[in-house]
C-alpha cells in the first residue's frame, strides 16, 4: 500500500518563499548534473537554501522542511524540489496562495435555547 503524504497549504508569504526555494533547488540540481557545481558544493548550497527559506535550520517539529534538508544533505536535490510539489500542492497555482488560511477556522455553533 502506498504511503500517504500529508499536504500543507502555507500562507501567501510562505508560499512565495517555497516557490523561490523550489526554483533555486532546480537550478542547483541542474548545475550539479551539468558538472558546473561539485557534489559537495551543490549539497551545501541546497541545505543553505532550505535553511534560508525556513528562516534558520529546520527544527525537528517542522516536518516537510526537515525532510527537504535531509534529502539535500544526502544529495537528492532534484528529488527534494520535485517532492515539494506533492507536499505543497498549491505551489504551481499562485492564485491559490493563502486562500486556505481562512478555511482552518472552526465555525461557531449557535446555542440552542
Tally of domains in the chain: 1
Q: DSSP 3-state assignment of 40? A: helix
Give tens-digit pLDDT for 6-26: 888 888 888 899 999 999 999
108 belongs to a structural domain: no
Structural domain for 46, as ranges: 12-89
The residue that leads in pLDDT, 4 or 79, is: 79
21 belongs to a structural domain: yes
99 belongs to a structural domain: no
109 belongs to a structural domain: no
pLDDT at 104: 43
98 belongs to a structural domain: no
pLDDT at 56: 76
Compute, in degrees rounded to 10, the torsion defined by CA atoms 25, 47, 51, 59. 120
112 belongs to a structural domain: no
Q: Report the C-alpha gap between 98 and 75 in whole angstroms.
A: 31
Amino acid at each position: 500500500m502506498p504511503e500517504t503524504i500529508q499536504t500543507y497549504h502555507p500562507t501567501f508569504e510562505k508560499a512565495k518563499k517555497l516557490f523561490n526555494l523550489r526554483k533555486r533547488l532546480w537550478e542547483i540540481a541542474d548545475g550539479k548534473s551539468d558538472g558546473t557545481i561539485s557534489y559537495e558544493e551543490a549539497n551545501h548550497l541546497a541545505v543553505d537554501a532550505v535553511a534560508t527559506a525556513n528562516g534558520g535550520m529546520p527544527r525537528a517539529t517542522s516536518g516537510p522542511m526537515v525532510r527537504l534538508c535531509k534529502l539535500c544533505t544526502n544529495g537528492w536535490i532534484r528529488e527534494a524540489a520535485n517532492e515539494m510539489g506533492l507536499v505543497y500542492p498549491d505551489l504551481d497555482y499562485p492564485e491559490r496562495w493563502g486562500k486556505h488560511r481562512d478555511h482552518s477556522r472552526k465555525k461557531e455553533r449557535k446555542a440552542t435555547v
